[in-house]
């Protein structure tokens, strides 16, 4: 059984040169596993997808590129690939890194 969730990332880029590109990457604290609070040995695997993509995002994988001329929103979808065996609050922490490249 698959459970779905989602979020979106948006950017309004004003202060970068015309030739620059901002790249957004993501890292999962638990290697794309939801951890049951108070029981770190109980986890649920999930995959993160950029909207419309069939390929899951990997650790430090790119989730978006932005330029001065482009103000956009990027949908991210999560799909749990396991079935919860225990009830409770499961969580992961995603860190997004923004890097600038002059082109």
Which of these, 41, 47, 51, 76, lies nearest to 59 by C-alpha position?
Answer: 47
20 neighbors 98 (Cβ within 8 angstroms): no
Rounded to two decimals, what is the model's pTM? 0.79
Mean pLDDT of 95-100: 89
Q: Model confidence over 18-42: pLDDT tens digits?
A: 778 888 899 999 999 999 999 999 9
């Amino acid at each position: 059984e698959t459970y779905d969730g989602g979020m979106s990332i948006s950017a309004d880029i004003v202060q970068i040169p015309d030739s620059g590109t901002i790249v957004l990457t993501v890292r999962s604290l638990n290697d794309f596993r939801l951890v049951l609070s108070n029981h770190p040995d109980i986890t649920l695997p999930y995959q993160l997808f950029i909207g419309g993509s069939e390929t899951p995002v990997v650790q430090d994988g790119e989730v978006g590129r932005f330029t001065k001329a482009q103000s956009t929103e990027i949908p991210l979808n999560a799909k749990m690939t396991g079935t919860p065996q225990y009830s409770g609050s499961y969580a992961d922490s995603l860190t997004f890194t923004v890097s600038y490249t002059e082109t």
